[in-house]
Amino acid sequence: MRVLRRRSLADIETPQELADICFPARGGAPDLSPSLYEVSSEQRIQASTEHAASFLRDPVTSTRVVDLADFSFPIRRTLGRTQFLLTRSAHREGIFADVEAQVDLAGRLLAQLPERTSVITKEESREYIRKRLAVGDDEWKDWLEVLTEGSGWSKLIQRS
């Protein structure tokens, strides 16, 4: 699964456009080892929420994820830098020889994009966090302790 920064993919027409969205450059250079999460479809909400909670100051309206399972390309297990065990242990890096390899994968993905793309809504993330806090999940309690008062996340949790 790859978490995307763009909410809509409806206007994507070419493999190059999709590759630019799925594998954006970092620091002006191609990112030939983009981060992925190897999770089941049942873990998409958890992984997306943990990713967002670890890296974003404010929750987004929704997060788009794309399923890359069953596509043949090399991946490497790496320890993720999130605050949560699942996304740390499920973190992978795609290994691409060059940008053309990314465009090739994007071309194969483009034909199946509607079936392989899903949206995780803010409401789904809020409900996931609410449930984790209700059962006393230590990871989420620790995350809650370091939230900045008045941040988008604290406002989201207060509405739960």
Query: Which pLDDT score, from 0 to 100, does residue 85 have?
Result: 97
- Per-residue pLDDT, 152: 78
Q: Looking at residue 42, what DSSP letter applies?
A: G
* Amino acid in the structure at residue 99: V
Phi-psi region of 16 (alpha: psi -120 to 50; beta: other; left: phi over 0): alpha
Low-confidence ranges of the chain (pLDDT < 70): 6-7, 57, 60, 150, 159-160
Phi/psi of residue 6, nearest 5 degrees: -105, 135
In the chain, what are the domain boundaries? 2-121
**CB-based contacts of 22: which residues, under 8 Å, 6+ apart?**
2, 4, 34, 66, 102, 106, 109
Q: What is the pLDDT of residue 150?
A: 65
37-50 b/e with 16+ CB inside 10 Å = b? bebeeebbbbbbbb
